[in-house]
Structures are given as C-alpha cells and as structure tokens.
Structure 1
Amino acid sequence: MLEVALRHAFPGFLLEAAFTAPTPGVTALFGPSGCGKSTILAAVAGLLRPQAGRVAVDGRVLFDAARAIALPPERRRCGVVFQDARLFPHLSVEGNLRYGLRRAPRGAAGLDTAEVVRLLGLEHLLRRRPVALSGGEKQRVALGRALLSRPALLLMDEPLAALDAARKAELLPFLARLRERLSIPLLYVTHALDEVDRLADTVVLLQGGRVQASGTPEELSARTDLPLLAARRDAGAVLACTVLGHAPERGLTRLGFSGGELLVPLEAVPPGARLRVRVRARDVSVATEPPPALSVQNVLPAVLEAVEPGPPHQAMLRLRLGASVLLSRVTGDAVRRLQLAPGMTLWALVKSVAFSHDPAPP
C-alpha cells in the first residue's frame, strides 16, 4: 500500500492532501497546473521536507513528522524521471544506463539491463550520445536509468509534458508495456487525461492543494459531481473491455464490457485481449424508442439514472447499462422535448470511442 498524507504551507498556497493506493500499480496524480502534484512527488522523493505528514510504501516509512523520521533521498530507493531527461551529455546511452545500475543497492531485485533495453526499445541507441537523441528517446533512456537503479518506488513528474504529439505517441506504448511488467509502485504526475486513461490503475484528483477524489479511472470517469472531469470537452466514461472477435469484411472489432457489447473500427488485437476505451459524452446520443435504420453501429438499452445540469443550455445524462455507466451530453432543449427523467428506459447511440490503453494479455 502506498500511503501519503502531507501538509505544507507556502506563501499563498496550502498543500493538505492525503490518499492511499494499492501496490504494485500506477497511481496518477491528476489536476491542473499549480494544484500541488509535483510538490507531492518532491515530498515523497525527499526533495522537500513537509511541515507535517507521513509517507510509507508497503509498510516502510519514508517520512513521519510526528516520529521525526525523514529518510534522506538516497535511502528512499526512489527512481525519479523528470520532464527533462537530465542525462549525462558526456556518456553514451549505454553509459547512462550503467550509471543507474551502479546506484542499485547490492542484492536488490529488479529488471536486468537486457530486459530494460528490450522493453524500452533502446537496442539501436546504445552507442549514441544524448545530443543525437529525440525528446522521446531521451525520456526512454532516463526511464531505463531510473529502472536500473532498482527502485522500490518509481516517480515520474510529467515525463511527456515537454514532448510534441508525435514524440508523445512514440513514448506512450513503451510506458504502457512497462506498466504490465513492473512489480513496484509507480507515482505518475500528469495533467493529460489520455495518459491517465492509458496508464493509471488509481487516479488521485487534485485541485488547490487538496484531494477531490480518488479511485480507478473507470470509477472517476463516470462521476458527474467532479467538475475537473465532467466539465471537460472530452468528458466521458472509461470502460474496461475484452476483445470478443473481429469482422474484417466489415472493418469492425467486437468488444464486450460489463454492460453489453460495442462495435468499433477494426483493431489489430487478438480475441481475449483486454483494453480500455473512453466513450466521450459528446459522442453518445439518446432515443426514447428503438431507432430505425441508422449509420450508428451501437444502440444499447440503458436506464436513465440522473439528469445533471451542465453549462448553459446543456445537461449531462447518467445512463446505467448493467454494471457500467455511460455519460451523454445533450442540450437542455432535448431534456425538455423528450421529457427525460430518472428511471426512464432509453437507447444510447454511441457514435465512436477513443482507445486509451494498449492491449494486455488475456
């Protein structure tokens, strides 16, 4: 279990945040800039000494103000990856990786060099110097160096924030692959929702130095009482799906989830693979009767659980499909015209989904 409870006052800002998360797994600290995400990461790493609080990983106490425990950074066994890779420019990629390995405690378990190189796709880069690497390649090397130090906790402070869209798309699959292989907890700071969907097992939602909510991406994405998520243009429900099969002649893949099935554009993943998709609220319409022939592939029966007010002239519908929830953003006029009220049976018309997680083995 990762346990964090911190209180620290800065001029004009108070951090007062507490959360727990299961280990191993990826815990994402998510929120707008200035909400305290990086400060929490610095406190866990030992780069900031909070005025009060406690940090522990699987029962090992790293910091406890009440008991005057504050392990120095070098004894916390935290591998840290920052926005900028901070590689040694005079060393090759291989030399930077070896530096990480030299910092590993004697006898500590962890990934070996060959596996790190393979997982992060560094084979063809080993002889290069950092100046000859792209931004995404530098971050992969920095991550490999941190992993080879055999950390008990891996900390990543917005590692993709400085990358352009192409380099970010290049690095995300490596992080997703690593997520499946790691047996240590990972604390990941980001303000990008696609990174949360792709990587997180637990999400800690932060605003103004305080925790607004925590839970799985599936749980938090379906909540309409969290403006940091529900008010976004890309707000929507995250569904854990299993690939049921393919129809290549139609260009479609069939996904199963706990509330039914979805037909999506053909994906090159094997049947039985698990993946996570985001169904955006703006891509879900509703009908009060089963609609006739449509271009929309997915028409799912649902029960209207709630009608939540949104921005002017809009509303958010919470739709129950078995054990799952979908969100639908509609106009206030549609609510009045269709006389939508909780308890009604509706048909959810899902126009598209966003794949947000690389497939994992069944």
Structure 2
Amino acid sequence: MTDGIRIALRVARGEFRLDVDLALPARGVTAVFGPSGSGKSTLLRAIAGLEPDAAGEVRIGGEVWQDAAQRLPAHRRATGVVFQHTALLPHLSVDGNLRYGWKRAGAPQALLDGWIERLALVPLLARRPDTLSGGERQRVALARALACDPRWLLLDEPLSALDGERRAEILPYLEAVRREAGIPILHVTHAMEEAARLADHLVLMDAGKVVAAGPALDVLNRADLPLALREDAGVVLEARVEARDAHGLLTLHTAAGALHAHGPAHAPGTPLRLRVQARDVSLALHRHDDSSLLNLLPATLLGLDPLPGGQVQARLDATGAPLLARISHRSVERLELRPGMALWAQVKAVALLV
C-alpha cells in the first residue's frame, strides 16, 4: 500500500492487550471512538512512537515508520501531536511556544504565519499560557503542531477537558483544520458529537480491539454495533441547508426528506451533518398535522430490537435513509407494530443536532 496508511500494532501491559490491524485512508479525519480504557490513546501513542513496547508495523504512504526491520524513534516520525492537556511551556508567550517547535522543525515562515491567522491567534501572541482559556490553549497547541509541517496530525481527546461552551467554540476551528491542513488526521475521542461532526472514517474500539472500521456514516448508522445501545444512539444524516428564517429555524434537505432544525446561520447550499437521536423520534400510524411537531417523515418499520428496561429500538427506512426510534414495549403492543408496516416518524425541530 503506497497511498494509504497501514497500522498493525500490539501492546501488552499487565492484563491489557492492544491488538489492531487497520488500513486507513491517507486523507481526511479518521476518528478512533470507544469507551474509556478501550485502547484509543494507547494506539495513538504507539503510532507516534511513544509506546516503547509496541510491536508491529506503521506505514504511511511509502514511508515505513516501524516494521520487523526498523523502528523510527518518536522525534523522527513526522507527526504533530495534540494531547488533552496542551503542555504549553509556561515561561514562554504564545508566540514563543509556537516558534520553539517551528524552529526545530525548520518549516517555512509562511506555514507558521498561515496557521496563526487561520486559528485566530494574532491577538494572543503576547500572552502567557496561564492567561488563556482552555479553548485558546488548544488552538495554540493545534497551531504549534501544524506549524512543524507534520506528515500526520494526531489528536488525543483534545476537547475532553473543555466545557460545552468551549467545545462549541473550538469545533469550527477543527473543521477548518480538516478542510485546510491537507494531511491525514487521527482524532481520538469518546464524544459522539465529535465523531459525528468531524470523522470521514471511523474506527470503533473496545477492549484493545477494533470492533468495526469504515466510512464514518456507515459505521455510525449500523444498528448491529454497540453504538446502537448507547443512551445517545441514533443516526447521522448528510444534509444541505436550503433556508434559515428570522428565528433561526433551518430548512434542511436530507435523503429522508425536508427537515427543520435550529442551528447557526449557514448560507443556502452549505453541507452539514445532522444527528437524529433515537430517543427523540416517536412513531405514529397516521400523519398528524395538528401538533407542534414540524418533522413528519414517512417510514417503513424494518425491525424491533428489545432493550433493557422495557424499551424497544425500532429500525426504520425513511425513503432510503436509516432512522432509529426508541420507544416503550407498551407502545409496540398498543400500536401493534410489526416489521413491514408503514409508519410516520415524528421529530421535534429543537431536538435535532446540527
């Protein structure tokens, strides 16, 4: 493989075993997703050369970073790494932190200047790290990594230490990095929001092994994976903005039909990803236009999967788009639901996640 990424790594530490074998695209964002302790961060550290006991193979494009014959040390692997805790040098200004690694890498001045501009760091250059917010520190850490002209950008839960407001603040910057960096990005996360919004390719991990891997929406929308059992289970749909009214209500075109959701101002034609959580979808035998629900979608019931606590997950086909609805067992009995039935899926506009 000369145009992709090959990872076959094994790490043994006490009772924990990491054993992965992956072929990844050498472009876009690969999100590594899974619960705490699943091996996500160990995998990233092994790729970066920071796990001395990691055995196996790491190849990116035509470059061999590790195999049976050789093992490049971390400083010779052209990675830019951003951890949850930014590890900025406290005695240096933002400008000093950025230039420290950039000088060692010998990267062009234009590259450093470009990332300072794209990540809106000009007003922060004279400040010290202890005067920055968590989101600002992460932007500095991103720019520091990218200014060194890496071959691969590795992000280890960069948003997990941030509150919801700061996370929302930095996500657009990560989207800009995704669009403009021109290098593959490995993004380790346990947050569904980040995987759904940023990932082009998704690796689902548990207990040190790969449970599933593939195009992000394919994996996110599979009803047979552990993702479908989470409290925030649902589907992710590709959407395109058609309009936004004066009250912030977006009209979105999706494969399931027109949907309404509240969200930021986006120009018509802007592509988005829309999360529809199973717990926010209700089912009806007939269309009801006399309620506050704005999103009414015709759907076919594909199957009913029992869940703990007397709940049932309904798998639906909405004119070719997948949907999940989490309802009670009593609702299944009352509506006499069975596979093959024609139904109406109902979703509140304020529940959709853009």
Q: Which residue of 2 aligns with 1:130?
A: 129
Given the superposition, is the C-alpha separation of residues 258 and 83 from structure 1 closer, same or farther in structure 2, using an over 3 Å criterion? same
Equivalent residue, structure 2, for 1:279? 276
Q: Cα offset for 1:96? A: 1.2
Q: Does 1:37 align with 2:27?
A: no
Aligned to 2:211: 212
The residue that corresponds to 1:27 in the other structure is 30
- 1:72 counterpart residue number: 73
2:16 aligns with 13
CA contact (8 A) 2:283 2:345 kept: yes
Deviation track 1:236-292 (CA, whole Å, cap 9, x = no partner) reads 1111100122343x7532101122110223641110000111011111111122224
Task: Give the C-alpha shift of residue 3 in structure 1.
Answer: 1.9
Deviation at 1:7, TM superposition (A): 1.6
Q: What TM-score do the two structures reach when normalised by structure 2?
A: 0.93
Contact 1:78-1:153 within 8 A present in 2 as well = yes
- TM-score if structure 1 supplies the norm length? 0.91
- Give the SS at the match of 1:6: strand
Q: Cα distance, 1:105 vs. partner?
A: 4.9
- Taking structure 1 as reference, are residues 243 and 90 closer, same or farther at Cα in structure 2, changes over 3 Å only? same
Equivalent in the alignment of 1:100: 101
Aligned counterparts of 1:241 and 1:164: Cα–Cα separation in 2: 27
Which residue identity is paired with 2:189?
T
1:360 aligns with none
Displacement over 3 Å in runs of 4+: 49-52, 352-356
Q: Where do 5+ consecutive residues of structure 1 fail to align?
A: 357-362
Structure 1 residues 279 and 197: alpha-carbon distance in aligned structure 2, compared to 1, 3 A threshold: same
Greater displacement, 32-41 / 19-28: 19-28
Shift of 1:134: 1.7
Equivalent residues in 2 for 1:299-310 (5 A)? Answer: 299-310=296-307
Match of 1:186? 185
What are the ranges of 5 or more consecutive residues in structure 2 without an aligned counterpart? Answer: none
d(CA) in 2 for partners of 1:32 and 1:332? 28
Identity, % of aligned pairs? 48
The residue that corresponds to 2:194 in the other structure is 195
Conserved 8 A contact 2:244-2:266: no
**Match of 2:294?**
297
Q: How does 1:328-343 map to 2 (within 5 A)?
A: 328-343=325-340
Secondary structure of 2:158 counterpart: coil
Task: Name the residue aligned to 1:261.
Answer: 258
Q: After superposition, what is the alpha-carbon deviation per residue over 1:125-168, rounded to whole angstroms, capped at 9, x for unaligned?
A: 01111122122211111111110110000111111222233322
Deviation at 1:46, TM superposition (A): 0.5
The change in CA–CA distance for 1:244 and 1:153 in structure 2 (over 3 A counts) is same
| Deviation (angstroms), 1:21 | 2.2
- With over 3 angstroms needed to count, the CA separation of the structure-2 counterparts of 1:159 and 1:267, relative to structure 1, is closer
Q: Alpha carbons of 1:173 and 1:251: their partners in 2 closer, same or farther (altered >3 Å)?
A: closer
Amino acid at match of 2:342: T
User: How many equivalent residue pairs?
Assistant: 350
Q: Is the 8 A contact 1:79 1:147 kept in 2?
A: yes
1:111-130 equivalence runs, <5 A: 112-130=111-129
Equivalent position of 1:359 in the other structure: none
Structural mapping, 1:125-164, within 5 Å: 125-164=124-163
The answer on whether the counterparts of 1:307 and 1:342 sit within 8 Å (CA) in structure 2 is yes
Contact 2:46–2:54 (CA<8 Å) still a contact in 1?
no
Does structure 1 residue 245 correspond to structure 2 residue 248?
no
- Which is further off, 159-168 or 134-143? 159-168
Partner of 2:114: helix, strand, or coil? Answer: helix
Distance 1:111 1:203 in 2: 32
1-structure distance, mates of 2:319, 2:26:
29
Which sits farther off after the overlay, 98-107 or 294-303? 98-107
Which residue identity does 2:97 align to in structure 1? N
Asked if the contact 2:107–2:147 (Cα under 8 Å) also holds between the matched residues in 1, the reply is: no
Aligned twin of 2:316: 319
CA contact (8 A) 1:224 1:316 kept: no
Please identify, of 239-248 and 49-58, the stretch whose mean Cα deviation from structure 2 is larger: 49-58
| Paired letter, 2:171 | L
SS at match of 1:70: coil
Distance verdict in 2 for CA 1:82–1:266, change over 3 Å: closer
Provide the alpha-carbon RMSD of the alignment: 1.9
The one-character-per-residue Cα deviations of 1:148-191 (angstroms, maximum 9, x if unpaired) are 11000011111122223332222222112221112101111111
Work out whether residues 305 and 342 of structure 1, in 8 Å CA contact, stay in contact via their aligned partners in 2. Answer: yes
Q: Name the CA distance, whole Å, in 1 between partners of 2:306 and 2:118.
A: 46
